[in-house]
Amino acid sequence: MSHLNNKLIGVISGLLLSFASLAADNIALNPSHPDRYVVVKGDTLWDISSMFLRDPWLWPEIWYVNPQIENPHLIYPGDELVLTYRNGQPVLRVNRGGKGRLSPKIRATPLDQAIPTIPIDAIAPFLTRPYVVEENELEKAPYIVHFLDDHIVGGAGISYYARTITEEQPSQYAIVRPEKPYKDPDTGEILGYEALYVGTSELKRTGDPAKLLITSSDMEATIGDRLIKSDNEEALIDFQPRVPKTPIDGRIISVLNGVTQIGQYNVVVLNKGASAGLEPGHVLQILQGGNEVRDIVKGRGASVTLPLEEAGYLMVFRTFEKVSFALVMSANKPLHVLDWVRPPTH
């Protein structure tokens, strides 16, 4: 997790610098907002923003940056946030260390102790592993054909043969097991396949078959498991929460980690991805309803479509070509697979 913590500066800065084009007079405060708040360990910017604002992703619009304070875009436990007004518009000021005043200060606190935008721990397992694979990618991927030393299955420290790897780079491969397809609920199109993460391997010798060693495993590998090239890129966590500029009309099609009841901080899968214009940091509203019901008053064959109702918000944190992963940031009622997601209307 250290490489994630090292990028928290980007998380905070990205949030506070976005939405510069929005007018401050469009900012709506939370009716029950406090006048001041002292930051504590475990807070996130989204949670604190929700205390003060109706729309927490608009935090930068009321943030007062004092150039005399070192790292004014970072907020730490112990800092005090004070809500004031300038020309009739709300402004949030920070008092470093709860001192009650704004002043220059050399801070000894490590930068990675600044509070994050969202709870990084909730999404960390889903940031880098190849959880979605496309059908043509599976067809071309190497696969396990035999374990050495008469092993039936493989775990960490077990060598195996795979077909076919002809290149020496990359030397690291993720072992995945293709699971259920992700289907578009409206068109039936297969958007990709869920990839169950099994473990990691190190290439020892190219060929057909190639020889590899399992270096770590979450579960036992079996014959037929596929190998996906691993990259060494650090996970993206410097999100800039914002509303998509293009229309998005999507659905929740799955929930990860075997959860059946969807609520705050659950990770869900959307049927829209990079090809639809979604990017990490995009905030979407969750809507329920839209069902067609019978109108018994008008008689046989008559029906009416129910309106969509607000149910919560989510933020996209990882995109694939046709699907995305998103973290549920708030829910005012139980959420379900097939709920709608669209850009916020306010």
pLDDT digits (tens, 9 = 90+) for 190-210: 999 999 999 999 999 999 999
Structure tokens given for 248: 């998005």
Following CA atoms 20, 22, 23, 24 in sequence, which dihedral angle do they give, to the nearest 10 degrees?
Answer: -70
Decide if 77 contacts 114 (C-beta within 8 A).
no
Distance between CA 123 and CA 116 in Å, rounded?
A: 12
User: pLDDT exceeding 70 applies to what percent of the chain?
Assistant: 83
pLDDT score recorded for residue 176? 95
3-state helix, strand, coil in the chain (%, to 5): 15, 35, 45
Q: Which residue type, as a one-letter code, is found at position 243?
A: V
From the CA atom positions of the chain, what is the Rg in Å? 24
Residue 308 bridge partners (DSSP): 289
Closest CA to 209 of 160, 153, 170, 173: 160
Distance between CA 119 and CA 283 in Å, rounded?
A: 15
pLDDT 10s digits, 269-328? 999 999 999 999 999 999 998 888 988 898 888 999 899 999 999 999 999 999 999 999
Residue 94 bridge partners (DSSP): 81
**How many C-beta atoms lie closer than 10 Å to residue 38's C-beta?**
14
SS3 203: strand
Query: Pairing mode, if any, of strands 283-289 and 340-342?
Result: antiparallel
Residues whose CB falls within 8 Å of the CB of residue 59, separated by 6 or more in sequence, listed in order: 15, 16, 45, 49, 52, 53
- Residue with the bigger pLDDT between 234 and 139: it is 139
Residues whose CB falls within 8 Å of the CB of residue 213, separated by 6 or more in sequence, listed in order: 157, 158, 159, 201, 202, 204
Average pLDDT, the chain: 85
Across the range 25-40, mean pLDDT stands at: 89
pLDDT 10s digits, 112-134? 578 888 898 889 888 888 789 98
Look at the chain and count its residues: 346
SS3 25: helix
Q: Kindly report the CA angle at 176 between 174 and 180, in degrees rounded to 5?
A: 150
pLDDT score recorded for residue 296? 87
Cα separation of the two ends of the chain: 35
Closest CA to 162 of 142, 148, 182, 179: 142
Residues whose CB falls within 8 Å of the CB of residue 187, separated by 6 or more in sequence, listed in order: none
Residue 154 has pLDDT above 70, yes or no: yes
Q: Which residues of 100-116 are buried (b: 16+ CB within 10 A; e: fewer)?
A: eebeeeeeeeeeeebbb
3 state SS for 45-87: HHHHHHHHECCHHHHHHHECCCCCCCCCCCCCCCCEEEEEEEC
Across the range 26-35, mean pLDDT stands at: 90
- Residue with the bigger pLDDT between 67 and 185: it is 185
Distance between CA 106 and CA 289 in Å, rounded?
A: 53
